A and B are shown apart, each in its own frame.
Chain A
């Protein structure tokens, strides 16, 4: 590797000599138990270290992907909105708009398994079993045309899968470039003329800033702040502790749903005005399942009771709802999140 590591290796050797001389443990902390290490040591490396027992096929992966992943990544890994594209992009790395996917860019399959297992699905991390993760990984390989549809991935055959871009990376070489070697900056008469070649105002993508002091907006006064505080305090006759608890539960929802002032549709519809509204009819939301729309047409209206039933187990009420959420198991969580939604939408 580069100079850095050579130099660093030297430092390390010196460091080690020092270590043996002064590494008298203080005794702070305590030994980790084997169960504790097993609970947290979830990482997987390219050589397969860290992979648990298990397996899963492309066929197993398809329905799991459809239920847990497709709402953001699309049924074929093509992605919804600005969520990451997972498939395709082969031969685009030298183009003006490279598409960096698992198939076109990621050098190791272990990275896929590790990441899906530790951080996905978004908003419900670390909920996938080892077999489910093998299945999703197999399906992702299939979506990228890297395996056939009868492929099964397991701990045993895992390291046999080679990724197309495995050789696509090399160590940092910035210190070997012309930029690094230029050590004599010019101070006077450095160039004959200067022309503007690009302008941000033409691109026009900077967010507007209503609070800028150059808009000379009046600062919020204490009176205004107090008035707002009184209004908030006087408004709802609900249990604030319950609403607070509901806000925490809503964290499970907010990857896909927004509620309250300025809420917009995300993966799921915003929830303002949900109470008293027919299912599947939020204005401007176009991604409802057919089943959800039908339920609304058949008379399903959202109230505390219907929401409680739906949120306890969405798919038992609306069979093919696109909401990829298993449901709230605890009665307390249900009550709290509904109280929160009421407080936020009234």
Chain B
């Protein structure tokens, strides 16, 4: 392996570290901290009144908190993906404007007055619902993670992107308000040979997937709100399907129709895409569940340790498409020894969990990893354990353990280890 001089990242990290050092040194000044001694503008001048921002936005000092894409990944931003800035978030809920986007033909701008949901196929009554109709059904509130099957896919052949936003940011976790899909299917009346459903989007990709009826009648939602407000256009406004724990591509956005059938459709997104090619040239299909996974979000390449040695918080997120997270283990020595992390916040089924590991950093280099154990007892594997089963070409469903190398300066890098 040739050691190429690291890029501009290191340069600006150095700038950041210098600034961080200055900040820490400030209170040691003889007279005291200017942030205290001097009257700050916000303590002197009047601020904006109410109604200046009828729909509030984050502080301008948070302007760097952005979804970002990787331009070389796709041919065109209209059919592409961007990434949730996991390293800037805490808790378990993703703010609506930061939820990663994946569109196949851009964001459809659907007029809710012209929105219709059709149920057809193997049902007693083929029906059409308006938004007003849908809002007269009893509804539920549930938090679920949505993870793209390709999340961490670019990392399958080796450490590639420097930042957990890019390695793990095809995920978000919000509270949905919606109608159980079961309620709507029962309204139409399933025929006895109803075995599959096919949700379809109203956008120019007219996205379709085949979903087995057991899942449709279990926990799927026809959702119209996220985190208390209407769905964002990029998340399927006005209505999307929620398929808890299963790969994000199945959560059809701008949902316009659900057909009921007796066999799967084998459409493009479940044959050409989202199938897992093994070393022997055969491919797994219908790999719906997202297996247990975790990642340390801080520190990480975009979020170095700036405070030097001493009290340090390692934090991250964990989730499983098969239940809740029971334990998260953290190692600082590349997996030789593991420690129990502290899970804090809600532990909901198929929802993101937040973990913390607090320790005294002695300033020596670290090899950080986290490992999730879910409520089925499944233990998040290493990438090498997965590769032993799958070979080199199975880029989807990479739930392998992520490693960050933290150097003595607190800078983190995406690496793989033996």
Please give the residue numbers on chain A whose beta carbons come within 8 Å of chain B beta carbons, in ascending order.
5, 8-9, 11-12, 15-16, 19, 22-23, 25-26, 28-32, 36-37, 40-47, 72, 81-83, 93-94, 96, 98, 100, 102, 105-108, 110-111, 114-115, 118-119, 122-123, 125-126, 168-174, 177-180, 182-209, 211-217, 219-222, 251, 254-255, 266
Known: A5-B212, A188-B337, A200-B413. A45 touches B263 (CB 8 A): yes
20 A–B contacts from the bound complex (CB under 8 Å): A31-B125, A40-B118, A40-B257, A41-B121, A83-B75, A94-B281, A105-B271, A106-B271, A110-B266, A114-B267, A119-B206, A171-B284, A177-B389, A183-B378, A205-B161, A206-B163, A208-B7, A208-B9, A209-B64, A221-B60
Picked from B4, B158, B304, the residue with its CB within 8 Å of the CB of A214 is: B304
CB-CB nearest in chain A for B207: A119
**A42 to B286 alpha-carbon distance, docked (Å):** 22
Known: A31-B127, A200-B161, A216-B15. A45 touches B284 (CB 8 A): no
| Contact A107–B271 (Cβ < 8 Å) | yes
Give chain A nearest CB distance to B99 CB in angstroms. Answer: 18
**A171 to B147 alpha-carbon distance, docked (Å):** 21
| Contact A8–B212 (Cβ < 8 Å) | yes
| Contact B63–A179 (Cβ < 8 Å) | no
Known: A122-B105, A211-B63, A251-B106. A185 touches B373 (CB 8 A): yes
CB-CB nearest in chain A for B322: A175
**A16 to B329 alpha-carbon distance, docked (Å):** 42
**A105 to B187 alpha-carbon distance, docked (Å):** 39
The answer to whether B76 has its CB under 8 Å from any CB of chain A is yes
Please give the residue numbers on chain B whose beta carbons come within 8 Å of chain A beta carbons, in ascending order.
1-4, 6-10, 12-13, 15-16, 19, 60-64, 66, 68-72, 74-76, 78-79, 104-106, 118-121, 125-130, 133, 136-137, 158-163, 166, 182, 186-187, 189-190, 192, 198, 200, 204-206, 208, 212-215, 217-218, 256-257, 259, 261, 263, 265-268, 271-272, 275, 277, 279-289, 291, 301-302, 304, 329, 333-338, 367, 371, 373, 377-379, 381, 385-386, 388-389, 392-393, 397, 405, 413-418
Known: A40-B256, A195-B417, A196-B405. A214 touches B214 (CB 8 A): no
| Contact A29–B159 (Cβ < 8 Å) | no
List of B residues within 8 angstroms of A173 by Cβ: 284
Binding site secondary structure of chain A: loop
| Contact B127–A115 (Cβ < 8 Å) | no
Known: A23-B189, A216-B19, A220-B63. A179 touches B217 (CB 8 A): no
CB-CB nearest in chain B for A169: B285
List of B residues within 8 angstroms of A180 by Cβ: 378
Give chain B nearest CB distance to A10 CB in angstroms. Answer: 9
CB-CB nearest in chain B for A45: B265
Known: A118-B208, A125-B206. A185 touches B7 (CB 8 A): no
List of A residues within 8 angstroms of B128 by Cβ: 29-32, 36
**A205 to B71 alpha-carbon distance, docked (Å):** 10
**A169 to B15 alpha-carbon distance, docked (Å):** 51
List of A residues within 8 angstroms of B3 by Cβ: 202
Known: A23-B186, A32-B118, A45-B266. A200 touches B75 (CB 8 A): no
List of B residues within 8 angstroms of A107 by Cβ: 266, 271
A-B residue pairs, 6 tightest by C-beta = A8-B214, A214-B16, A194-B334, A200-B414, A93-B281, A82-B75
| Contact A169–B379 (Cβ < 8 Å) | no
**A114 to B264 alpha-carbon distance, docked (Å):** 14
**A42 to B201 alpha-carbon distance, docked (Å):** 12
CB-CB nearest in chain B for A192: B336
CB-CB nearest in chain B for A216: B19
List of B residues within 8 angstroms of A12 by Cβ: 213-214, 217
List of B residues within 8 angstroms of A19 by Cβ: 186, 190
**A221 to B63 alpha-carbon distance, docked (Å):** 10
**A178 to B378 alpha-carbon distance, docked (Å):** 11
Give chain B nearest CB distance to A177 CB in angstroms. Answer: 5
Give chain A nearest CB distance to B273 CB in angstroms. Answer: 9
| Contact A100–B133 (Cβ < 8 Å) | no
**A32 to B123 alpha-carbon distance, docked (Å):** 12
